Amino acid sequence: MNSQIKKINLNHSLIFFLFCNIFSLIAFKISYFTISPLLCLFLILSIGVSHGSLDNLKGRKLFQIYGINKFVIFYLSYILISLSVIFFWIIIPSISLIIFLIIASHHFGKEDTQFLIVENSYLNQLFFFLKGTLIIFAPMYFHFDETISIFKLLLIDNESFYEFLNFIETNKILLYGIILSTLSSIILFIKNFELKKFTIFLDYFSILIINFYFSPLVAFTVYFCFLHSIRHSISLMYELDNNELTNGLKIFTKKALPLTIITASFCFLGLYLLNNTYNFDSSVLKIIFIGLASLTFPHILLEYLIEKNEK
């Protein structure tokens, strides 16, 4: 991408960094400061989900490349993949979680960094993955027991899985993972250095700060909504109108609103149904993480197919 989008993202990272520091200071000074899981769900279903709400336009573009005229196939395929993820999560939750965390690590690392990197090599893909693992390792390192509690609420009752997690925690493997993630950020920062690459370290310290001060759910919500999703949305706005970002925002909002509302509606319906079996906070966590997993897989697959065919 050109210099303008790099500058926009650098400013965004700086604002996010300042926001994380102020937000953390407030939480540190006010001992009873808490954020409801319902608020986290609302933010994720509005700001977070909206960054994937133009997938139908990308799907139309992909179908034009493949010469497929019946666009209803796209919607059916997207929904089928999402439902399949939920099905497999119910059947094999621990394996589904591990696969999701691996894929999400690469996705987060790549989407948050690739606008700065020209070379699309396999080595850089590895660096993207290692950089993205910070999103996974940081909450486990700073709030291990709380993270384990979330995993248990996500239908995972495999004792071997938790024995493995305890092993990596007691043997400081989480710390080594964070060090590897740090080294990958340094390498991506140094390669073909330019000032706008300070974005990488602003993001790095922001993620550490919010995970140190906040619970895993709140830290993930802040990162996912206000860094990852907004950054991806900015790139979409720029694609819609690369001359005037404010107009791109208007077009993006208009186009993203329908699928965002539909997705949120299904999630609240799922929340209502789950609340008949589980307590409210547990139901919210299931909707957030299992729901996100079901949307992430078709979203990433679509991004991959678009990128592959554009090459």
pLDDT in tens, 202-224: 999 999 999 999 999 999 999 99
Tell whether 274 is covered by a domain: yes
pLDDT at res. 48: 93
Measured distance CA(38)–CA(298) in Å, rounded = 25
Which residue is associated with the tokens 């919210």?
Answer: 284
> Is the CA virtual torsion 289, 290, 295, 300 positive or negative?
positive
Tell whether 25 is covered by a domain: no
Residue range of the domain that includes 129: 3-20+37-310
pLDDT at res. 96: 94
Band (pLDDT 50/70/90 cuts) for residue 157 is confident
Tell whether 27 is covered by a domain: no
Provide the 3-class DSSP secondary structure of residue 41.
Answer: helix
Tell whether 286 is covered by a domain: yes
Tell whether 31 is covered by a domain: no
Tell me the average pLDDT of the chain: 92
What integer is the mean pLDDT of 264-287?
Answer: 93
What integer is the mean pLDDT of 260-273?
Answer: 93
Provide the 3-class DSSP secondary structure of residue 250.
Answer: helix
Q: Can you give the pTM of this predicted structure?
A: 0.93
Tell whether 258 is covered by a domain: yes
pLDDT at res. 68: 87
Domain count, the chain: 1
Residue 88's closest CA among 135, 140, 156? 156
Residue 121 contacts residue 178 (beta carbons within 8 Å) = no
pLDDT digits (tens, 9 = 90+) for 101-115: 999 999 999 999 998
Tell whether 182 is covered by a domain: yes
Tell whether 92 is covered by a domain: yes
Band (pLDDT 50/70/90 cuts) for residue 192 is confident
